[in-house]
Structure 1
Amino acid sequence: MRLGVEQVRNKQFGVFTARQVLREYTRAELRARVDRGEWVRVFHGVYREATTSPSPELRVEAARLSMGLTLLAAAYNTAAELHGFAVLADQPTDVLGIQAARSHRLVVHRDRVDVEELELIRGTLTTNAARTAVDVARTLTRLDALATLDAALRAGVSSTALTAELEKQAGRRGRRQAAQLIGLADVRAESPMEWRTRLRCIDAGLPPPEPQIEVQTRNGLRRIDLGWRRRRIGLEYDSTVWHSGETAALRDNPRHNWLSTEGWTLYYATAADVYHHPHHFTTPIRHALGRGQ
């Protein structure tokens, strides 16, 4: 890469515009690099090198340059990425703008925002953490919204801050959903799929399960993803990443045997169950909880 383009790239989170390129390259050279896959178009008139990861900072800067703006703020899921509590990947870049617009890769939201609701994260302007979490909780599906709120709590956003932000958003679309889910959010949950599994249990009318239950067995401390401690009923999210491979049985079977010795009954949920067939685990758990009452 020629020096002038390299310098602007380094100042712009890894992106550069066609206009900047054409100061040192011909249009044919620009086109050739794109055709060879060396440079990748991010948004109209803005490129990155193929070896440069499309971070949220890079994408917001690319949107700003493409729109010809001096400042641009990240919002919604892109802001959640910057704050470290996004639960969805490969989403369009969300920014705030004067005129709403949408493409498959860029969404411009025409939302009112006060100066105190903005902050800088690693040089990128974004809505603050509480505003971001509530915005996402209003607009995503219930499964992803609760997962985001749980992640926000784990990232250090307080329930008080979420409630205060919710009050400021009176009358906005999805506020009722956000209000309900803020009341269910739990900092103890550890992964997005566990958070979604927990909501499926609640929506099925089960008592809210306790996340990350620690059980002291005769063979050491064991942890259960979700459960009902008094009834000694546990629910594990069966991740194909964690619960597969040659060592999975060696790791899981003794653990589950010791929990059974302590009187625990374990149930399991897969991703397909959580997203499409939650009754596969909620119905047997309901029956188990109902026995002996």
Structure 2
Amino acid sequence: MPEVIDVLLRREGVATFGELRAIVSGHAIRAALAGGSIRRIAKGVYALPTAPDPIAAARAQGGLVSHLSAAVLHGFDVLELPDRPQITVPRGQHRRLSPVKCELHWADNVPSDGPCTSRLQTVLDCSRTLPFAAGLSIADSALRGRVLDRSQLMVAAAELSGPGCRRARRVAAAADGRAESPLESVLRAILIEAGIIGFEPQVVVRDGTFSARIDLANSALMIALEADSFAHHGTRTALARDCRRHVSLTVRGWRLLRFSWEDVMFDREWVVAAIRAAVAGSPGHHNVRTSRPATPGAVSHGQL
């Protein structure tokens, strides 16, 4: 089911059965439909469940669409959709009676962009309140889309105070616009939280006859990590291309570890163990500093 939702998210919430079936199994589609994760809106057409309108909820409460709801409206990549609108209202304002259930936050003088909190404020709010991987995915997306730059995010995070400020500073320090997908951001977050360093996003391996871009790579140890989603690798053509790419990297001395959505999202301990084993088995790894105890907030941009 996560793969079905992933495909719909990448298609703005709507896809035909044929579009889904080209990437995921029919069983996965039926299971997602039976479980309420997706809905049929026409014959052979599927969509994500209808959510309450966050803009209408914000107007009803006299506030701004914020946090994860604002991230969705700004077009940032999110790991999951909010189950109800998230709204920020001025401090001291009471919840108003409304048929739309929403999650309220209170803050004064919040910068806005139309009905939403500003893009910078949205990234900071998500970084303060979401788990590290989810916050990092949104921050990476904002940098990748060039709606923010990293120095702007770092300065704003440094000026924060109150609950979640350390978490936001950690996200800002780790954010990297080179990350090309939310799943890649989560894989990098796993490395950071495990204290595994030396891996850099989107490394290019090139010689006279070959060129490949790797999601995360430790060039010193020649270890490549890939975060694979069916949305990008689910066709026969993609499989053939990936097999040739894998062989080409291997004959050049690289070891390629490929992790699925299920691995990255639901079995992080196994992912960490596999990467540690690969690092330990790399020639010359004793001469390269590759890991250290994880310390919240201690990972700098240059260590990724």
Match of 1:266, SS state, is strand
Unpaired runs of 5+ in structure 1? Answer: 1-52
Which is higher, the Rg of structure 1 or of structure 2? 1
Counterpart for residue 186 of structure 1: 176
The amino acid of 1:175's aligned partner reads C
* Equivalent runs, 1:83-122 vs 2, <5 Å: 83-91=74-82, 92-97=84-89, 98-100=93-95, 106-114=101-109, 117-120=111-114
Secondary structure at 1:241 match in 2? helix
Structure-1-length-normalised TM-score: 0.70
Query: Among 254, 273, 279, which residue is 1:289 paired with?
Result: 279
Q: Percent identity?
A: 31
Give the alignment of 1:250-269 within 5 angstroms.
250-269=240-259
Q: CA deviation at 1:261?
A: 1.7
Matched residue, 1:203: 193
Q: With CA pairs under 8 Å and 6+ residues apart, which has the higher RCO, 1 or 2?
A: 2
Residues matched between the structures, number:
232
TM-score between both structures, scaled by the size of structure 2? 0.68
Shift of 1:141: 1.3
- Provide closer, same or farther for how the CA distance between residues 211 and 64 of structure 1 changes in structure 2, counting only shifts above 3 A: closer
Identify the residue that residue 77 of structure 1 maps to in structure 2: 68
Q: 1:160 aligns with which of 141, 151, 156?
A: 151
Provide the C-alpha distance between the structure 2 equivalents of 1:55 and 1:224, rounded to a whole number of angstroms: 36
Residue 86 to residue 261, structure 1, CA distance change in 2 (3 Å): closer
Corresponding residue of 2:128? 138
SS for the counterpart of 2:122 is helix
Contact 1:75 1:132 in 2 (8 A): yes
Q: d(CA) in 2 for partners of 1:200 and 1:229?
A: 19
How many Å apart are 1:162 and its aligned residue? 1.9
Q: Is the 8 A contact 2:57 2:100 kept in 1?
A: no
Q: CA deviation at 1:145?
A: 1.0
Deviation at 1:267, TM superposition (A): 0.5
Q: Map Cα deviations across residues 262-281 of structure 1 (whole Å, 9 max, x no partner).
A: 11110011222212322323
User: Which of 142, 161, 169 is the equivalent residue of 1:170?
Assistant: 161
1:63 aligns with 2:63: no
> Structure 1 pair 277/104, CA: closer, same or farther in 2 (3 Å)?
farther
Q: CA 1:178 to 1:265, structure 2 compared with 1: closer, same or farther past 3 Å? A: same
Question: Deviation of residue 102 (structure 1)?
Answer: 11
Query: Which secondary structure state, in structure 2, belongs to the residue aligned with residue 237 of structure 1?
Result: strand
Structural RMSD (CA): 2.9
CA contact (8 A) 1:101 1:108 kept: no
Residues in 1 aligned to 2:96 and 2:186: alpha-carbon distance in whole angstroms: 30
